[in-house]
Amino acid sequence: MAPLLFALYFVTMEVSQAIETNKKVHRVGSMVGDLITQQQTINATEVDAIMKIGESTLQPYNRSVGTIIVTAIEITNDQTPKVQVAWSRKLVNGTAVNGLPKDTATSVPEALKIKGTYLIRVESDLAYKPVITWVAKDKPVLGLAAAFDGISMSETYHLRPRMSPTIPCTGC
C-alpha cells in the first residue's frame, strides 16, 4: 500500500507544480507586454531589462530556461494592409538579442488586423521538465529523462500601446 500512496503523492505534487509553472509562463507574457505598452518610447536596454524581469518570474523553477520574444507590429494603411515587424527583441537562455528584422512580414489574429494600428506581441515559452526526469548537471542522462524532452508551455499576447499610437525602440 505504501508504494501506491508514495506514487500518488509524487504524481499529485508534480501535476500541481506543472500547473503553477504554466500559470507563471502565462503571467510572464502578460506582465512583459503590460510594461512595454505603458511606454511612449523605449530602447533596447529597457526592453532587455523588462524581459529579464519576466524571466525572474519563472523562479524558483530552474530546470529549463524560458524564451521571451517581444515584437512590435505595424499594420499599414494600404488598401490591403501589410502586417510587418517594426522592431523585435528576444531573450533566449538569458541572453537578449535582436529578433525578427524590421519590415519582415508577420501575422496577427484576423480580429486585430485593423488598418493603421500598432501592436506589441509577447511570446513566452518554456519546456517544462518534471522532477522525475530531472538530472544534475554533468551527470549522464538515463532512463525516463533521456526519453522525455519536456512539456511545451507557451502563450502569446497581443497588446495595443496605451500612451501613444506607436512605441518606437532605439537600438532594437
Identify the helix (H) or strand (E) that includes residue 8.
helix 2-37
- Could you tell me the CA-to-CA distances from 115 to 15, 39, 74 in Å, in that order? 43, 22, 9
49 three-class SS: helix
- Residues of the chain under the 70 pLDDT cut: 60-63, 132-149
Phi, then psi, of 85 in degrees rounded to 5: -75, 130
Q: Are 83 and 104 in contact (CB under 8 A)?
A: no
Strands 67-75 and 118-128: antiparallel
Burial 48-63 (b: 16+ CB within 10 A, else e): bebbeebbebbeebee
Question: Can you tell me the distance from the alpha carbon of 104 to that of 82, in angstroms, rounded to the nearest whole number?
Answer: 10
User: Which pLDDT score, from 0 to 100, does residue 155 have?
Assistant: 94
User: Which pLDDT score, from 0 to 100, does residue 138 have?
Assistant: 56
